[in-house]
């Protein structure tokens, strides 16, 4: 009997696999995570074989009962995974033989591990994408909550890490909400691409049995069966899509982490983080370091690395199945675990973050952040072109710099020196809150814009 402690291909082989190859060839330590999907796929496959009268009902029932028993065994951690049987598919098949005897051999009619593994993997990636989406929703809600509390918190907006123009802290947080929304969209559209069922294409050619691929596709929750058997077993685009979306999301998270690290520094002091998300130093008693933020910034590298590794594995790989592709699972699982954890940590960070309002406001007044507003004022009130107004404002900045003053510390007399036609109401231009509130164009930082945006987003993320 081929199944007795031998590989399924034992009949053809006169020697067993070398221990060394068994070690690298076996993927069970990694792909056991697919057990749920594998059993589900096998049950549906068996149902289809019965429906199509390819196997009889009695055998079908026996197979399905055995598979369900295996599911319970794995769930309750009683199942013994064995590297000798390579992967999750063969481990389960082997156990089915143990439980129901030789009738287990009917299950592999009209399928191959090649279509089986992609079916399982696609189902898993779909589930994983949904999990990421769910957690991004939670993260977005935390950002919205913090935004609501900080609409009126004014800070300097930066370009080139130089003070640029005043913004609302909430507006800055909502920028990340936009990024996470795009991340969600990416994972959602990946799910649409995944939606074709591989089961039934066999090793690469399709099969001579009268199978019903529409039945299995529907039962497994796919929209339709895949259209080309060769492409089906060769395709790992769905894994790449996942890795790419995960990388982009991790990149967003790492940008946020980086800003928190800078802002939490003793030089910036723009935010305060709760001790919950800080760690101490073994030598410097005064230290409180933002390690969690640093970790998620660094871990983006793991997500990018997985994407790069997968692309490199696929590049130049001829059709159809090659063992190279077995490495795909570890990459995707790692990327998923890393990203999920990073999302959780980001959520902790945003909850435990407090803007240092006074410091934000005082920094917003430094660096001549209202110089652009002054130029705009001259265009709107004194009939100047923007380039002329720009020059006058630049002169004002030079004057303020020379006299060691912020723009809001200048008096009307000093301003008049720049342009004698100025009206007294020009003074309000140098108020940073006023500056924020002038940016009423759609998508701008004016407080009333932000309030509208938050209530719209709150409806979207109830
Ligand atoms: N464990 C294998 C994988 O993940 C399953 C496919 C094996 N197919 C084969 N022709 N050896 O890729």
The residues annotated as belonging to the active site are 160, 281
* DSSP conformation class of 369: T
Look at ligand 1, atom 11, and give the residue with the nearest C-alpha.
Answer: 323
Same domain? For 96 and 167 the reply is no
* DSSP class per residue in 294-347: HHHHHHHHHHHHHHHHHHHHHTTPPSS--GGGGGHHHHHHHHHHHHHHHHHHHH
Give the model's pLDDT for residue 283.
Answer: 87
Give the model's pLDDT for residue 333.
Answer: 98
Same domain? For 325 and 420 the reply is no
Residue to mutate, 9, 90, 113, ligand 1, most ligand atoms under 8 Å from C-beta: 113
Cα separation, 169 vs 75, whole angstroms: 47
Instruction: Give the end of a domain, one of 62, 88, 109.
Output: 109
249 vs 6, 174, 371, CA distance in Å?
44, 16, 35
| 266 in a structural domain | yes
Closest Cα partner for 117 from 355, 309, 367, 328? 328
Phi and psi dihedrals of 216, rounded to 5?
A: -65, -40
Sequence-ordered strand ranges (E) for 43-188: 154-159, 162-168
Name the domain count of the chain: 3
| 462 in a structural domain | no
Which domain does 22 fall in, by range?
2-109
* DSSP conformation class of 16: P
Burial class (CB in 10 A: 0-12, 13-18, 19+), 365: buried
Same domain? For 182 and 291 the reply is yes
Give the model's pLDDT for residue 5.
Answer: 64
Instruction: Give the end of a domain, one of 56, 88, 109.
Output: 109
| 123 in a structural domain | yes
- Contact assessment for residue 39 and residue 71, using Cβ atoms and an 8 Å cutoff: yes
Same domain? For 319 and 407 the reply is no
Atom of ligand 1 nearest to the CA of 121: 4
55 three-class SS: coil
Q: Evaluate: CB of 87 within 6 angstroms of ligand 1.
A: yes
Cα separation, 356 vs 246, whole angstroms: 32
Residue to mutate, 326, 330, 331, ligand 1, most ligand atoms under 8 Å from C-beta: 326
Distance 25 CA to ligand 1 centre (A): 10
Residue 195 neighbours by CB distance under 10 Å: 16
188 vs 147, 184, 207, CA distance in Å?
25, 6, 32
Same domain? For 158 and 307 the reply is yes
Instruction: Give the end of a domain, one of 362, 389, 421.
Output: 362
Same domain? For 355 and 423 the reply is no
Q: Could you tell me the CATH number of the domain that includes residue 381?
A: 1.10.40.30
Chunked mean pLDDT (size 10), the chain, 462 residues = 66 84 90 98 98 98 98 98 95 98 97 97 98 98 98 97 97 98 98 96 97 98 98 97 98 98 96 90 87 96 98 97 96 98 98 97 96 96 95 96 96 93 94 97 97 97 92
Q: Evaluate: CB of 419 within 6 angstroms of ligand 1.
A: no
- Contact assessment for residue 27 and residue 329, using Cβ atoms and an 8 Å cutoff: yes
| 457 in a structural domain | no
Q: Could you tell me the CATH number of the domain that includes residue 266?
A: 1.20.200.10
Same domain? For 276 and 190 the reply is yes
Residues 6+ apart with CB under 8 A from 25: 17, 86, 323
Q: Evaluate: CB of 320 within 6 angstroms of ligand 1.
A: no
- Contact assessment for residue 111 and residue 44, using Cβ atoms and an 8 Å cutoff: no
Look at ligand 1, atom 1, and give the residue with the nearest C-alpha.
Answer: 87
Give the model's pLDDT for residue 281.
Answer: 86
Atom of ligand 1 nearest to the CA of 112: 8
Q: What is the pTM of this model?
A: 0.95
Closest Cα partner for 186 from 141, 246, 250? 246
Give the model's pLDDT for residue 2.
Answer: 43
Atom of ligand 1 nearest to the CA of 203: 10
394 vs 397, 399, 403, 414, CA distance in Å?
5, 9, 14, 14
Look at ligand 1, atom 3, and give the residue with the nearest C-alpha.
Answer: 326
Same domain? For 311 and 407 the reply is no
Same domain? For 157 and 257 the reply is yes
Residue to mutate, 117, 201, 203, 324, ligand 1, most ligand atoms under 8 Å from C-beta: 117
Same domain? For 47 and 101 the reply is yes
Both tokens of 1, joined, read 């009997």
Atom of ligand 1 nearest to the CA of 329: 4
| 438 in a structural domain | no
| 459 in a structural domain | no
Q: Evaluate: CB of 256 within 6 angstroms of ligand 1.
A: no
Residue 388 neighbours by CB distance under 10 Å: 15
Q: Could you tell me the CATH number of the domain that includes residue 88?
A: 1.10.275.10
Cα separation, 369 vs 363, whole angstroms: 9
Cα separation, 101 vs 11, whole angstroms: 18
| 439 in a structural domain | no
Q: Evaluate: CB of 326 within 6 angstroms of ligand 1.
A: yes
Give the model's pLDDT for residue 7.
Answer: 80
Same domain? For 285 and 310 the reply is yes
Q: Evaluate: CB of 303 within 6 angstroms of ligand 1.
A: no
Same domain? For 153 and 264 the reply is yes
| 216 in a structural domain | no
């Amino acid at each position: 009997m081929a199944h007795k402690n031998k590989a399924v291909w034992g009949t053809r082989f006169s020697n067993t696999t070398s221990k060394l190859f068994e070690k690298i060839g076996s993927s069970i330590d990694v792909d056991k995570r697919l057990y749920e999907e594998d059993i589900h796929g096998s049950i549906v496959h068996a149902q289809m074989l019965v429906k199509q009268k390819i196997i009889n009902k009695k055998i079908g029932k026996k197979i399905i009962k055995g598979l369900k028993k295996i599911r319970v065994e794995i769930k309750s951690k009683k199942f013994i995974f064995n590297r000798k049987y390579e992967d999750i598919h063969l481990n389960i098949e082997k156990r089915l033989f143990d439980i129901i005897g030789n009738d287990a051999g009917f299950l592999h009619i009209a399928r191959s591990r090649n279509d089986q593994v992609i079916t399982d993997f696609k189902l898993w990636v779909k589930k994983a994408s949904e999990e990421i989406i769910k957690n991004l929703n939670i993260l977005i809600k935390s950002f919205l909550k913090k935004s609501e509390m900080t609409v009126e918190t004014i800070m300097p907006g930066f370009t080139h890490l130089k003070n640029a123009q005043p913004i609302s802290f909430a507006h800055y947080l909502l920028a990340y909400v936009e990024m996470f929304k795009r991340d969600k969209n990416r994972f959602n559209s990946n799910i649409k691409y995944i939606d074709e069922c591989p089961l039934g294409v066999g090793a690469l050619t399709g099969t001579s049995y009268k199978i019903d691929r529409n039945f299995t596709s529907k039962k497994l929750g796919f929209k339709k069966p895949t259209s080309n058997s060769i492409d089906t077993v060769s395709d790992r685009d769905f894994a790449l899509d996942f890795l790419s979306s995960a990388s982009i999301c991790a990149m967003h998270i790492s940008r946020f982490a980086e800003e928190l690290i800078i802002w939490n520094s003793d030089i910036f002091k723009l935010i305060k983080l709760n001790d919950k998300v800080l760690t101490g130093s073994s030598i410097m008693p005064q230290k409180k370091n933002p390690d969690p933020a640093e970790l998620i910034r660094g871990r983006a590298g793991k997500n990018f690395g997985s994407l790069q590794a997968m692309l490199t594995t696929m590049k130049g790989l001829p059709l159809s199945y090659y063992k190279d592709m077995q490495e795909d699972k570890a990459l995707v699982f790692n990327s998923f675990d890393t990203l999920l954890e990073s999302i959780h940590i980001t959520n902790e960070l945003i909850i435990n973050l407090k803007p240092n309002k006074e410091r934000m406001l005082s920094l917003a007044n430094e660096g001549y952040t209202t110089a652009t507003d002054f130029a705009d004022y001259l265009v709107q009130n004194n009939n100047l072109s923007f380039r002329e107004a720009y020059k006058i404002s630049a002169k004002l900045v030079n004057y303020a710099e020379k006299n060691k003053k912020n723009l809001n510390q200048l008096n009307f007399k000093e301003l008049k020196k720049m342009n004698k036609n100025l009206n007294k109401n020009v003074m309000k231009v140098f108020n940073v809150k006023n500056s924020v509130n002038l940016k009423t164009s759609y998508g701008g930082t004016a407080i009333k814009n932000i309030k509208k945006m938050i209530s719209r987003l709150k409806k979207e993320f109830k």
